[in-house]
Chains A and B, each alone.
Chain A
Amino acid sequence: MPHDGDFFGLLKESGYRLGADVAPGGSLPEGFRPTEGTTILAVNYDRGVLIAGDRRATAGNAVIHDRADKVLGIDDHSVLAISGSPAIAYEIARVLEHTFQYYRRSQLQELSLEGKLRRVSRLIRENLPMTLQGIGAVIPIFAVYDLSDGPEGKGKIFFYDALGAQFECADFATTGSGSPAIRGALYYQNRWSGRPLASMGLEESVGLVLRLLETAAEYDTATGGTDRRAAIFPTVKTISREGIRDVPAEEIARVYGEQVER
């Protein structure tokens, strides 16, 4: 019985497996198209980090769902944005959520930032068999506000590759099938526009992110744009010293009207 606060270990003891039992060396059945497709991005703004994701889930060329939520709050100061297989990604998010809480409650101290990052990495690596089969790969962005940074802290953005390697990003990160279309734009904006990302206020940052997601949707069929008629907007969350905030749909709609639609 682990007394080290390892929730995933506790789960495995009770027989839990992260991925499905895929036969080793097996191949995907003919015509099986796993659900995927996304653009997610995270940017620093003047109070912390802003994370956004589109709402579309696709399988091959079929649109499965138009209201998928890919930006998931994990604890009071961390958010996981997911691209890749939603099934595994949601599972990873749930395990993570419980992992951080379980550690604090059993060990009577909060898991450090480094510790949290390693847990994310480990879960992605745990998913390796599925990833190598070509299904179930998860490539998330993990955004945190590190309270130990003090009042000068700005929030940190971490990007993971499909095998669990972790990279800290300065100012922005984007992943998913639509991300190549906007990665260049983010770099350009941050470097030469005269308005570096980390200096932007909330509304300006939301406006930028909405425009970028529209751009990604323009060039990637697996990324959903904004559906004005049905009022389906991208999910946007912010993390600051005060915690996580869901930017409400009304606010996004207003910024969209002022900065995107014109």
Chain B
Amino acid sequence: MLLDEPYRWAETVANRREYLEDQLRGGSPAIGIPYDDGVLLLTFGRGGRKLFEVYDRVAFAAMGHPADIERLRIAAVDMAHVDGFTNSVADVSLQRLVNFGIAPLVKNAFDEVFRAPYIIRVLMAEIGPAGGARFYTVDCDGTFESAERCGAVAGTEKAAGVMRAYLEAARTEAGGLKEALDVALRAWALGRKVGRAEEEGQEVPESPQVEDREVGEILREEMRTRDAEAAVLARSRLSKSKFRALTGEEVRAAVSKYL
């Protein structure tokens, strides 16, 4: 049986990983960056929503299988609310949601070779009550990472890395929402550029860039089948819940610069 043959087990895990990477390869990246009033999340999707509110100051974005995205986001919402009720709103933190909730869920599904894994890469963001932001990414095998400057998930590790480098260099935390939207759009286009190069088996330059004209080409091409979606966690919102989905006009205004 599988358990009696460790080599078979290692091979099975390698196959799972390869399968998941294959499934996620062409997916639309999701980006999170800070700006002066909080954090911005951006992605492109085919019709369904991909950016969600989890709790007062916590948001969820993902790429992958829609049903898996749905399951994990419900799990995050459930956990956050039971926790916030049992303790208090201030006790709900992204660190705990990921460490003790989402990551174990995904890891368990990945480990159990007779269960289907989650075909997903998760990006979550949180704003602190007095300032500051935090991003977490959770990969399909349960690995998770945390960062303060930005968060990005993409179809390939290379694309995600390139996007992160671009976003970190952009230093959006002191700027306004419009600037952050622009940076996020460029980063998304860059991620797709790298992703497509990899899909087609082309060489990817050491530190790829993307010019305005290229951004326009990529966006025009992608927007034939995908819609842009953006949301913020904005500290200045009067409501206790800081999540706000950006309106169609706001998103169109940002994209139209390149079209």
Chain A residues close to B by CB (< 8 Å): 1, 3, 7, 10-11, 14, 76, 94-95, 98, 101-102, 104-106, 108, 243
Contacts and interface: CB of A to CB of B under 8 A. Distances in A.
B77 A106 contact: yes
Given A10-B78, A108-B49, 5 more contacts: A3-B74, A10-B81, A14-B82, A98-B81, A105-B52
A11 B82 CA distance: 7
A105 B53 contact: yes
B99 to A, nearest CB: 19
A98 B80 CA distance: 10
**Interface majority SS on B: helix, strand, loop or mixed?**
mixed
B189 to A, nearest CB: 28
Contacts of B77: 102, 105-106
A7 B49 contact: no
Contacts of A95: 85
List 5 tightest A-B contacts by C-beta distance, closest first.
A102-B81, A98-B85, A106-B77, A105-B77, A76-B239
B244 to A, nearest CB: 12
Contact of B84 (A1, A76, A98, A243): A98
A104 to B, nearest CB: 8
Contacts of A14: 82
B85 A106 contact: no
Nearest to B88: A94
A108 B48 CA distance: 12
8 contacts: A1-B78, A98-B81, A101-B241, A102-B77, A104-B53, A105-B77, A105-B81, A106-B77
A100 to B, nearest CB: 10
Given A105-B77, A108-B49, A243 B82 contact: no
Contacts of B85: 7, 11, 94-95, 98
Contacts of B239: 76, 243
A101 B81 CA distance: 9
Nearest to A14: B82
Contacts of A7: 81, 85
B134 to A, nearest CB: 19
Contacts of B84: 98
